[in-house]
Amino acid sequence: MSEGKKVRLRIVSRLTEPDGDVHEIKNARSGMIREEQGALVLEYEDVQDEERAHIVLTMHPGRTPEENRARMQRRGMVASMLSFMPGQKVASSYVTIYGEIPVAVDTRRVVIDRSEKGGMLLLDYDVYMGGERTSSAMMEITWRI
């Protein structure tokens, strides 16, 4: 495991509902990035609507873009572990104080780009609840060391 480095993050999330409504959220955060067993691990604190969450994002760069993988673990009032694998629909859940909500993530693309001074992760996916698509999402996270 390598030593973590402090990073500045820019997070842009764009959610498109089935009726076409688009919601975009832009945030700036600080975090830490490290290499761990061939993966990049990015950790940061997120605050939305006064709810604080700890995010651990694990990126597995593949030999080709189709082999890129990512996993996002969220700990807070809502907890989740979402896996992003292009071409696959992966079951998961959101755990809330009201109980567990089953979801599935159908990933179109995972783009991982990195350099000496930073990098970028793009997640392009659909979210399903109860077998129906509830939204299309695109999340872009850029970091600077």
In angstroms, the CA 24 to CA 139 distance is 10
pLDDT per residue as tens digits for the range 40-78: 999 999 987 778 999 999 999 999 989 999 999 999 999
In angstroms, the CA 44 to CA 94 distance is 19
pTM across the whole model: 0.93
Contacts 24+ apart (CB under 8 A), 135-138: 135/15, 135/16, 135/17, 135/18, 136/15, 136/16, 137/13, 137/14, 137/15, 137/16, 138/13, 138/14
Q: Give the residue-averaged pLDDT of 10-31.
A: 96
Q: Where are the alpha helices (DSSP H) in the chain?
A: none
pLDDT per residue as tens digits for the range 91-122: 999 999 999 999 999 999 999 999 999 999 99
- Structural domains of the chain sorted by starting position, each given as residue range(s) with its CATH number in brackets: 5-144 (2.40.128.20)
Going by C-alpha positions, the residue among 75, 79, 107 that lies closest to residue 91 is: 107
pLDDT of res. 47: 84
Q: Which distant-in-sequence residues (6+ apart) come within 8 Å of 139 by Cβ?
A: 11, 12, 13, 14, 121, 122, 123
Angle of CA points 83, 84, 87, to nearest 5°: 130
32, β-bridge pairs:
6, 43
CB-based contact 56:34 (threshold 8 Å): no
